[in-house]
Amino acid sequence: MYLDYFHLNDRPFSLTPDTSYYYNNFSCQEAMNVVLVALSNGEGIVKITGEVGTGKTLMCRKLLNDLPDEMLTVYLPNPLMEAQQLYRAVAGELGLASTTDVSVADLLNQLNTRLINLSASGQRVVVCVDEAQSMPTQTLEALRLLSNVETEKRKLLQIVLFGQPELNERLAQSELRQLRQRISFSYALGPLDFEGFQGYLVHRLQMAGYQGVPLFTVGAQRKLFKAAKGVPRLVNILAHKALMVSYGCGLHHVGVGQVKAAIVDTDGVSLPHNWLFGVALIGLLTTLFYVGILLTPMVGG
């Protein structure tokens, strides 16, 4: 596509949560500090919330990669499981033999014994749950029961919940009040501010191998930031499309016009009506350029 054209080694704005592209902005650093402090102090349950696209999954994977070796990690990317499935998933990650035919009570006893043995050998267990707002109530309660395993000094299993703000609404329900009281630390991820957004653009382009002059004009950056409202996922979507438009128009930078075209092509992102004619013209020119590419081979592209 446009990789060779812009001298890139990789797609800089892919939506895949690649930890090598993790950008440690202020909000992410604060959230990570909250988690690390809670884990180092042996606290039971930590909660990180954030709107869609603010980087919760990427942070979760970064945490799993960076925790010290003495912390065994269990990653639950799919919250839609029953309580027994949860116990079996944790048991499997902790090296217990097949538990298919084991009752819930026996399974819990085996987990308790395993956690005690791991603690005696100097190891701790951290369970990270992604998209926790979608976890069934009974399964959330099963998580609380798991967190009850402890010595006189500290918890033997710690839990980090990553979820959308709806998780707070779930936890406000009466039937989950015991779980809510177990949450010792929490943090709400915010969107990027403009300075953080600029650093985010530069970081992702550099990680993808770009070494040239600023690829996005200042005007394009401001328009992109305003449209994406600082949400990293929307930044990725719009920046990727703007690069495609610039490539299609034969440009070696991304200007305001290319960002406008990307905005129009993206659901959930609004554009003032007085911009629409200009963007429609850009779209027409881009289409004609692509037709030219198909009919006439590009030289040096």
Query: What pLDDT digit, counting tens, does each position of 54-91 carry?
Result: 999 999 999 999 999 999 999 999 999 999 999 999 99
Contact 141, 179 (CB under 8 A): yes
Same domain, 131 and 207: no
| Closest among 293, 273, 297, 275 to 285, alpha carbons compared | 293
Same domain, 66 and 159: yes
Distance (Å, whole) CA 5 – CA 94: 47
Q: Which of 155, 188, 221 is the last residue of a domain?
A: 188
Residue with tokens 């990317």: 77
| Closest among 43, 44, 51, 31 to 133, alpha carbons compared | 51
Residues 241-263 have pLDDT tens digits of: 999 999 999 999 999 999 999 99
The CATH number of whichever domain residue 199 belongs to comes to: 1.10.8
Residues 136-181 have pLDDT tens digits of: 999 999 999 888 877 667 788 999 999 999 999 999 999 999 999 9
pTM here is: 0.86
The CATH number of whichever domain residue 103 belongs to comes to: 3.40.50.300
Same domain, 116 and 236: no
Within a domain: residue 55? yes
Overall number of domains in the chain? 2
- pLDDT band of 281, cuts 50, 70, 90: very low
Nearest-5° angle of CA 156, CA 157, CA 159?
150
For 247, phi then psi, to 5°, come to: -60, -45
Within a domain: residue 21? no
* Paired tokens of 102: 């084991």
Within a domain: residue 16? no
Same domain, 241 and 106: no
Range of the domain at 243: 194-295
* Paired tokens of 12: 């800089």
Look at residue 273 and tell me whether its pLDDT is greater than 90.
Answer: no
Q: Which of 188, 206, 236 is the last residue of a domain?
A: 188
Neighbours of 284 (CB within 10 A): 10
Q: Which of 139, 170, 188 is the last residue of a domain?
A: 188
Same domain, 206 and 235: yes
